[in-house]
Amino acid sequence: MIRFAARLLFLVFSLFFWACTPSVPSGILSEEKMTDVLVDIHLAQGMAEAQSENTDVARYKYIQAVFQKHRITEAEFDSSMVYYSGRAEKFTFVYNNVVNRVQAQAERMGLESVEKQDKFESLTSEGDTANIWLGKDFTCLAANPVQCVYSFQMKTDSTFKAGDSFIWRFRSQFVGRSMNNEAIALLSFQYETDTVAAVTELVGNNAENELKYFPDKSIDSLNLRTISGYIYLPTNHDADKPKPLLISKMQLIRMHKRIEEKPIVKADTLRVDSVATDTMPQQKAERLTPLQMRESQPKEKKINVVKENPNPIRPMRGIPNRTNRRR
């Protein structure tokens, strides 16, 4: 009886201990450990980016120093990244802790936060310029057939207008060093006439990515039906595979087309009757006498014009004038 009670008590304690222990498989870092490692890796990559030369080499050395500090291998970290990226709740918890701790360290160092510098951070889903993103804020891609693609699709509604422009924004960060650390992002638009337009962008390491789309004049009058996009991490079979890619702070900015307003000409406020009515005082006409009428008429003035003879008669030389002849 005593042995049975002891076994029962041991079983109860074992079940209680098993319930309190995080359900993380063997070889996977715990949530607290994963948070510590990611914070140090973020700081290490920031220090490597500050190097003017050999940034890749410096990044590799700093990250290896982080692994040595926490006494883990790179393979254990990669496996943990794949594990947490496939579990949204766990990954959200870890990522939020990483962001809060990195933000707190930046504020202690007197650095302005990225959120305060971001001009699109305070946008809402309404207005001429709005953040219409409805998907999750972050994700993680891994170089395997299951987790190598993140995609989304959005149907438009009455808030969309013809001629809208868009910017898909997100941050990318490869966790680890590899020669193949490069992904591809695509943003596609389908219009009412089955016209499709798209933009593509290469996704680099520790970068602020923006896929900007401005419709051409040939389609800016068409109504938009759907918006879709994806981020693809190639799954190379080489020994040097891409490291896990962390995507965060995703936004989809919509900007309405500006319409130039024509000046409105105000109607004339003057009344018609006020213009037609003569407000000048009129003088009464006086009757004139016949004498006054004759004097008021213009008088004609005669001008006598004396014309000179164009051919005057001149006396000839040698002939005496008749008036001077002697009688």
The pLDDT score that the predictor gives to residue 21 is 47
The pLDDT score that the predictor gives to residue 42 is 80
Residue type for position 97: N
Out of 61, 89, 116, a domain closes at: 116
Residues 122 and 83 in one domain: no
CA 255 to chain centre: 7
Residues 99 and 122 in one domain: no
Distance CA 183, CA 149 (A): 10
Out of 210, 225, 255, a domain closes at: 255
Assess if residue 32 is contained within a domain: yes
Assess if residue 170 is contained within a domain: yes
Assess if residue 226 is contained within a domain: yes
Q: In Å, how far are 186, 229, 256, 326 from 169, measured between CA atoms?
A: 12, 12, 17, 135
Residues 103 and 133 in one domain: no
Q: Which residues contact 86 (CB under 8 A, 6 or more apart)?
A: 146, 147
Q: In Å, how far are 210, 257, 310 from 307, measured between CA atoms?
A: 101, 87, 9
Assess if residue 272 is contained within a domain: no
Assess if residue 164 is contained within a domain: yes
Assess if residue 215 is contained within a domain: yes
Out of 255, 272, 304, a domain closes at: 255
Q: One digit per residue, pLDDT tens: the chain, 327 residues?
A: 555 444 544 444 444 444 444 567 888 899 999 999 988 888 887 777 776 566 777 777 888 899 999 999 988 888 888 788 777 678 778 878 887 888 787 777 665 544 445 555 555 656 688 999 988 777 888 877 878 899 999 999 999 999 999 999 998 888 766 667 789 999 999 999 889 999 999 998 778 899 999 999 889 899 999 999 999 988 765 656 667 888 888 999 999 987 665 666 565 554 545 555 555 656 655 666 766 766 766 666 556 655 555 565 565 555 555 555 544
Provide the domain count of the chain: 2
Distance CA 167, CA 187 (A): 9
The pLDDT score that the predictor gives to residue 57 is 78
Distance CA 29, CA 110 (A): 32
Residues 109 and 134 in one domain: no
Distance CA 133, CA 264 (A): 37
CB-CB contact of 102 with 39 (8 Å): yes
Residues 133 and 110 in one domain: no
Q: Which domain holds residue 196?
A: 118-255
Instruction: Find the radius of gyration of the CA atoms of the chain.
Output: 48
Residues 133 and 233 in one domain: yes
The pLDDT score that the predictor gives to residue 305 is 56
Residues 150 and 248 in one domain: yes
Residues 141 and 227 in one domain: yes
Assess if residue 82 is contained within a domain: yes
Helix (H, G, I), strand (E, B) or coil at 72: coil
Strand locations in the chain (E) = 129-131, 139-141, 149-155, 165-174, 183-191, 196-203, 207-213, 224-232, 245-255
Residues 112 and 131 in one domain: no
Residue whose structure tokens are 């990559």: 45
The pair of structure tokens assigned to 45 is 């990559």
Residues 140 and 184 in one domain: yes
CB-CB contact of 80 with 91 (8 Å): no
CB-CB contact of 261 with 158 (8 Å): no
Assess if residue 233 is contained within a domain: yes
Residues 65 and 123 in one domain: no
Residues 78 and 143 in one domain: no
| CATH number for the domain harbouring residue 142 | 2.60.120
